Amino acid sequence: MVFPSPQPQVPSPCSSMHELSIANSILEAVCKERERLNGARVTKVGVRIGELAGVDPDALSFGFEVLVKDTELEPLALAIEFVSRRHECSHCGHVFTVVDYRMDCLACGSKETRCISGDELELAYLEVEES
């Protein structure tokens, strides 16, 4: 029996659509804030992205750069802060970073823990040039 050779994996053009939409939402928020600040020049926007948010930071950065290019916002920079998944123990209150999907408490061994961070996707700050 002959099996066909595996074809190389080519990324789908739609694989970054999610991140492009997020980049567009970030820029809409920047534009609204610019209006509120009477057209002030925004130089940098910072976002927090949790490891559970399902966002590819490289794809987000690429989409952001594409959307900003040749607009009045250029050279607006994007800073991405990665947020690790953290849990809190319901038994002893210990807070810890989840590593390798190990979610039992590192202090007391309890399996009763809850996720307290890592699913963020939020606008953290804007840097604005003073006139």
| pTM for this predicted structure | 0.79
Does residue 9 carry a pLDDT above 70?
Answer: no
Q: What is the pLDDT of residue 4?
A: 46
| Distant-in-sequence, close-in-space partners of 61: CB < 8 Å, separation ≥ 6 | 78, 80
Domain boundaries defined on the chain: 17-28+40-128
Query: Tens digits of per-residue pLDDT, 24-46?
Result: 999 999 999 999 999 889 999 99
Q: What CATH number has the domain spanning 17-28+40-128?
A: 3.30.2320.80
Mean pLDDT lowest for which of 1-10, 64-73, 101-110?
A: 1-10
Query: Residue 81 — very low, low, confident or very high, per pLDDT cuts 50/70/90?
Result: very high
- Residue-level pLDDT at 92: 97
Both tokens assigned to 96: 């810890």
